[in-house]
Structure 1
Amino acid sequence: MIDAVVHPYNLAEENFRNAHARPITDIVSGGNRAVAPEGYRLPKDGYERDWSIEEVANMSFVESYADLAAYHVVPIRAFHDGICSIEKGLEAQERWPDRFLFYVGVDPLEGSKAVDDLERQMEQFHDVAGLKLYPNSWLGDEVSGWLMDDPEVAFPLFERARRLGIRTVAIHKAIPLGPVELKHYRVDDIDRAAMAFPDLNFEIVHGGMAFLEETAWQLARFRNVWVNLETTATMLTNRPAAFERALAALVANGGPRALSQIFWGTGCMVSHPRPHLERFARDFAFSPELTDRFGLPEITPEVKRAILAENYARLHGLDLGERLSRLKGDEFDLRRPDGATPAAGYSTTAVADAAY
């Protein structure tokens, strides 16, 4: 299984750079308790802290079922380290290079500094799978925004990324981070980007949380638009009917082909990755009523394998057999051999006794 996004946030107050950090932290922290089932919730003082990359690696590979994970550098400048730092990613690269892929992250509204940051991170990371972006900039007193079809802000950055060998651009959409304008979280602006850069792939992170019809038509029209189910997947646990409707809407126009452009992501440690994954792998299917009403494709074990690993591997040109062979005998393989039940939620973290 491949988790398409993990990030060890630093939510400690000493990491707050300006007043925007508190509402962002409240959204993330409150979200943990809102979506988690019993045994997987954390109190504020256990959650709003500096999470280590080792904790996220353990949660992914020992407490859940992931084999590979994509580390996203997060460039939210309301936090001193961006909330998910370059340094933690470099630690993951040093300690577990076969387990992680990496997305570099910059703030496009920083102009030439963003380009410099992009080039520096490309030199630092060896296995760069993509570029992670956010539609807002939290540098000043006022939150600024930008759009994916902006020819002055976005397109030059995409062009530079392409020259550096990046083939996937991931953009946070659908979930506004605090009291900000909604327009920057819509998906319409991806159309022109996908048309202008047909050799780039555009990954909608949190696809399915909002703007379902627009996203569905993008999957139907563009082969270079993909949906990352981070956060959307958490609805399986606390709102399973909402997840079913979201996935049904995403594939209503594109059918089976749209399913080939959707992949799994948890955002670990935003929520614990295990309960949502178990619900999807073991229990999820479209209801007969929805299937008949909208002519939906069947969610077979083969479709689930595609969403959980094969689609993402195809996006990034990964040879899954070769990549998984590298993991045999590593520390996580020894701690959770094939078929072994994962360790209890949060048991390998600093908050093992805090979950409720």
Structure 2
Amino acid sequence: MRRGYIVIDNHIHYWDASPENCNEYGHRWIKCFHAYHKAMTPSDEYLWDLDLFRKAPEDWWMRTLFDESGVDVGILQPTHLMDFFHRGFNTVEQNAEVWRKAPDRLILNGRVDPHDGDAAIEELHRQKEQYGIQGLKLYTAEWHQGSPQGWRADSPEAMRLYEECEKLGIKNLHFHKGPGIDPLTLDGFDVGDIDGAAVAFPRLNFIVDHVGLPNLDKFCWIAVKQPNVYAGLSVAVAFGGKRKRYFAETLANLLYWLGEDRIMFGSDFYIWHPKWEIDVIIDFQMPEDLAQEYGVTVTETTKRKILAENSARLYGIDLEPIRQRAAETLAA
């Protein structure tokens, strides 16, 4: 818990960008990540040097996420990027290493690439059988065997993948739809292809991580008509550190179009320290002019839904044991 709030961080990573694991593109990738880290972190207290940022020790990672930040449950989102990293950047297997150390506090999502056809379906089954995955992290701009073309979320290959997800009970599909990271293009992450996919598969949850930024309007126009489209606040919430007005406008739009039941907190750890991002939500007050213009408010109920309850509903997480543990800790 953080300051009396249960926290489910639905967007975390455990990556390896050590120099020996990077090719030319991998070095560009992690330096771009680190530039985002430095630009948006609000104080020196939370800044990490590039060496730590490339590959953090496991005990530091656990301590920062759970002890320092108060995250109760974290959801690991893999990104393979085999064209940039010799062993992969943030693979399912890498994430599984930390998941096994804290299976009561971490949820492991899977990852496949629709480009791989039958092999992607086989890999989906393997991850479900081996790890019991409830969701996937999908990167539409990801290169494939040297080709920078990426894929579309509404392509026939992707639709085949969703059909298999339905059969296996893998309901939560997280899509990176937002910032480009060098060398991946911004257009490759455009949010427009979520529309047809969400229409075709109403029983699956399409979680749009980073809320489509900088194309927030397009995302909102899709989400307002599709109740199975959700807003993942990772990256967006990081603007609450130095660009509070921008974040307030983003949240006002999300509340106006989607309501408070489809917005979920994610820190994108360890691009940023979750502690200060959680505090952005806890301390948030909607500016009066935005509250009047959009007709929205941010209540304690809103904050609890964003920080935990909405993610708990999608992932079947029972919050009562977390409350009980917190009460026992206070009593002790």
Question: Scaled by the length of structure 2, what TM-score is found?
Answer: 0.90
SS of equivalent to 1:266: coil
Letter in 1 for 2:143: W
Change (3 A) 1:241 1:288: same
Which AA in structure 1 matches 2:281? F
Is the contact made by 1:170 and 1:203 (CA closer than 8 Å) also made in structure 2?
yes
Q: Which residue of 2 aligns with 1:305?
A: 304
CA RMSD after TM alignment: 2.2
1-structure distance, mates of 2:162, 2:255: 28
Quote the offset at 1:338 in angstroms. Answer: 5.0
CA distance in structure 2 between the aligned counterparts of 1:269 and 1:179, rounded to whole angstroms = 20
C-alpha distance in structure 1 between counterparts of 2:316 and 2:118, whole Å:
30
Other-structure match for 2:218: 214
The gaps in structure 2 that reach 5 residues or longer are 1-6
**Aligned match for 1:73, one of 67, 75, 78:** 78
Q: Any idea what SS the aligned residue of 2:238 has?
A: helix
Tell me how far apart the structure 2 counterparts of residues 339 and 19 of structure 1 sit (CA, whole Å): 53
- C-alpha separation between the residues in 1 aligned to 2:15 and 2:330? 29
Q: After the TM superposition, which of the residue ranges 60-69 and 84-93 deviates more from structure 2? A: 84-93
What SS class does the counterpart of residue 211 from structure 2 fall into? coil
> Structure 1 residue 74: deviation in Å?
1.8
Matches within 5 A, 1:263-282: 263-282=264-283
TM-aligned CA distance change 1:319 to 1:90, over 3 Å = same
Letter in 1 for 2:288: P
Question: Which residue identity lines up with residue 136 of structure 2 in the other structure?
Answer: L
3-state secondary structure, aligned to 2:46: coil
Offset at residue 54 of structure 1 (A):
3.5
1:101-140 map, 5 Å: 101-126=107-132, 128-140=133-145
- What letter matches 2:35 in structure 1? G
Matched, 1:29 2:28: no
Q: Give the Cα separation in 1 of the matches to 2:164 and 2:330.
A: 41
Does the 8 A contact of 1:215 with 1:250 survive in 2?
no
Q: Aligned partners of 2:18, 2:86: CA distance in 1, in Å?
A: 11
Instruction: Describe the SS at the equivalent of 1:10.
Output: coil
| Larger helix proportion of the pair | 2
Provide the rounded CA distance (Å) in 2 between the counterparts of 1:324 and 1:143. 46
Cα distance in 1 between the residues matched to 2:298 and 2:179 = 26
Q: Does 1:64 align with 2:63?
A: no
The answer to whether the 8 A contact 1:213-1:250 is kept is no
CA contact 2:29–2:183 (8 Å) conserved in 1: no
* Corresponding residue number in structure 2 for 1:6: 12
| 1:237-316 map, 5 Å | 237-254=241-258, 258-282=259-283, 284-295=284-295, 297-316=296-315
> Structure 1's 90 and 75: CA in aligned 2 closer, same or farther, altered over 3 A?
same
8 Å CA contact 1:216–1:251 kept in 2: the answer is: no
Match of 1:346 in 2: none
Q: Does 1:44 align with 2:45?
A: no
**Contact kept? 1:115, 1:157, Cα under 8 Å:** yes
What whole-Å deviation, never above 9, does each CA across 1:236-276 have from its counterpart, x for those lacking one?
1111111011111223334xxx2210010001111111112
Change (3 A) 1:193 1:136: same
| Residues 1:150 and 2:155 aligned together | yes
Deviation at 1:208, TM superposition (A): 5.3
Q: Secondary structure at the match of 1:170?
A: strand
Of 135-144 and 7-16, the range deviating more from structure 2: 135-144
The TM-score with structure 1 as length reference comes to 0.85
Tell me, in whole angstroms, the C-alpha distance in 2 between the residues paired with 1:70 and 1:156: 25
* 1:136–1:339 CA distance, 2 compared to 1 (3 A): farther
Q: Runs of 5+ in structure 1 lacking a partner?
A: 341-356
The Cα of 1:52 is off from its aligned counterpart by: 4.1
Contact 1:130 1:166 in 2 (8 A): yes
Determine the C-alpha separation between the residues in 2 that align with 1:189 and 1:270.
26
Q: 1:188 aligns with which of 182, 186, 192?
A: 192
Structure of higher RCO (CA pairs closer than 8 Å, 6+ residues apart) = 1
**Structure 1 residue 194 displacement after superposition:** 0.6
Tell me how far apart the structure 1 counterparts of residues 167 and 140 of structure 2 sit (CA, whole Å). Answer: 22
- Counting matched residue pairs gives 324
Partner of 2:3: none
| Letter in structure 1 aligned against 2:213 | M
Q: 1:247 and 1:339 mapped to 2: Cα distance?
A: 36
Q: 1:166 maps to what in 2?
A: 170
Aligned position for 1:345: none
Shift of the 194–245 alpha-carbon distance from structure 1 to 2, 3 Å rule, reads same
Question: Given the alignment of the two structures, is residue 177 of structure 1 paired with residue 181 of structure 2, yes or no?
Answer: yes
Q: More displaced, 67-76 or 134-143?
A: 134-143
Looking at structure 1, the residues matched to 105 and 273 of structure 2 have their Cα atoms a distance apart, in angstroms, of: 18
